Amino acid sequence: MKRARPAPAHIERAVRAFWSEALRDPLLPPDQAALASVDRWRQDADLPYALLHGPRTSRHAAFAAHLLRPRGRSRALDAHLVPVGPDTRLERDLVVLLAARLQRDLAGSSVRTLLGNLAWECLGQGRDETSPPLLVAITDVDEAEPTVRWPALFTGIGAGVKVMATVEGDETAAQAWIDRLGFDPARTLVHALPSRHDPAWEGLLGFLNGKTADGKETQAARLLGLLACAWGRLSADDIARGLGRPADLLLAEVAPWVAEVEGTYAFRQSAYRREVEARLDPEARGTWVGRLLELSPAGYPCEYGCVHRLALRAPVAAFAPLVTQDHLTRWMQRPLDGLGFVSDLERVRGRAATSLGQGADAEALGLAVRATLAEASYHGMARRPRRRAPVGVQELDRKRTLADHRAQSTALLALGRAIAPGPGRTEVLQAALDAARRIPVAEERAFAIHALASAWEDDSAERRALAREVVDAYRGVPQAAWNLLAAAPLLPPEEGMALAHEALAAAQAAGEDPGDLALFAGELPRPVAEALWSVAASFPMPSRARALAALAARIGDPDRVRAAFDVVSAYLESGSDDAFDGKPLHLRVLAPRLDLDQAGRALRFAAAFGDLGRDALQALVLRLIELGEPACALLPKLRDEEERLGVLARTLAFPSTPDRGRLRAELLDALGASTSAPRTHGERFGLFFQVAPPLAAAGATDALVAVAETFDQRARFAALLSLAQHDAIRAPELARHALSLGLALPPEDAPRLLHLVPLAPHLPRAGAAQVLARLLDDAASDLRSAALAGDSVSLEKLVPLLASLAGDQGLVAAAREVQRVAAWFP
Instruction: Give residue-wise pLDDT tens across range 498-552.
Output: 999 999 999 998 899 999 999 999 999 999 999 999 999 999 998 999 999 999 9
Nearest to 121 by CA among 166, 148, 161: 161
Q: What is the mean pLDDT of residues 404-422?
A: 97
Q: What are phi and psi of 170, to 5 degrees?
A: -85, -175
Average pLDDT score over residue span 667-671 = 88
Q: Which residues contact 257 (CB under 8 A, 6 or more apart)?
A: 200, 203, 204, 224, 267, 268, 269, 272
pLDDT tier at 591, thresholds 50, 70, 90 = very high
- What is the pLDDT, as a whole number, of residue 540? 92
Chain segment 427-466, per-residue pLDDT in tens? 999 999 999 999 999 999 999 999 999 888 887 888 999 9
Distance CA 172, CA 596 (A): 75
Task: Check residue 211 and give its pLDDT.
Answer: 65
Beta strands per DSSP E along 317-468? 382-383, 395-396
Which neighbouring-strand residues pair with 267? 258
pLDDT confidence of residue 36: 80
User: pTM (2 decimals)?
Assistant: 0.90
Contact assessment for residue 814 and residue 426, using Cβ atoms and an 8 Å cutoff:
no
378 pLDDT above the threshold of 50: yes
Identify the pLDDT of residue 404.
95
Give 592's pLDDT tier (boundaries 50, 70, 90): very high
Give tens-digit pLDDT for 125-175: 878 777 788 899 999 999 987 778 788 789 888 888 999 999 999 999 999
Q: Which of 437, 434, 435, 415 is nearest to 425 (CA)?
A: 415
Q: How confident is the model at residue 687 (pLDDT cuts 50, 70, 90)?
A: confident
For every residue of 159-199, DSSP letters joined together read TTEEEEEEEES-HHHHHHHHHHHT--GGGEEEEE------H
1 band by pLDDT with thresholds 50, 70 and 90: very low
| pLDDT at residue number 75 | 54
Query: Greater confidence, 652 or 27?
Result: 652
Q: What is the DSSP letter of 118?
A: I
Residue 71 has pLDDT above 50, yes or no: no
DSSP characters for 525-542?
Answer: -HHHHHHHHHHHHTSPTT
Torsion, Cα of 245, 247, 252, 258 (10° steps): 120
Secondary structure percentages of the chain, helix, strand, coil, to 5? 65, 5, 30
Residue 686's pLDDT band (boundaries 50, 70, 90)? confident
Q: What's residue 73's pLDDT?
A: 46
Q: Please check the confidence at residue 214 and state whether its pLDDT lies above 60.
A: no
So what's the pLDDT on residue 106?
Answer: 58
Mean pLDDT of 789-812: 97
Phi, psi of 601 (to 5 degrees): -65, -40
Task: Evaluate if residue 61 carries a pLDDT over 90.
Answer: no
Q: Is the pLDDT of residue 781 over 80?
A: yes
What was the pLDDT predicted at 579? Answer: 47
pLDDT at 72: 45
Whether 236 shows a pLDDT value over 80: the answer reads yes
Range in 53-67, 126-140, 386-400, 757-771 with the lowest mean pLDDT: 386-400
**CA within 13 Å, CB half, 474:** 24
**498 contact partners, CB below 8 Å, separation of at least 6:** none
Of residues 330, 362, 365, 324, the one with CA closest to residue 345:
324
Percent residues over pLDDT 70 in the chain:
94
User: According to the model, what pLDDT value does residue 350 have?
Assistant: 94
The whole-number average pLDDT for the span 567-586 is 73
Mean pLDDT of 255-279: 93
Longest dimension (CA), the chain: 114
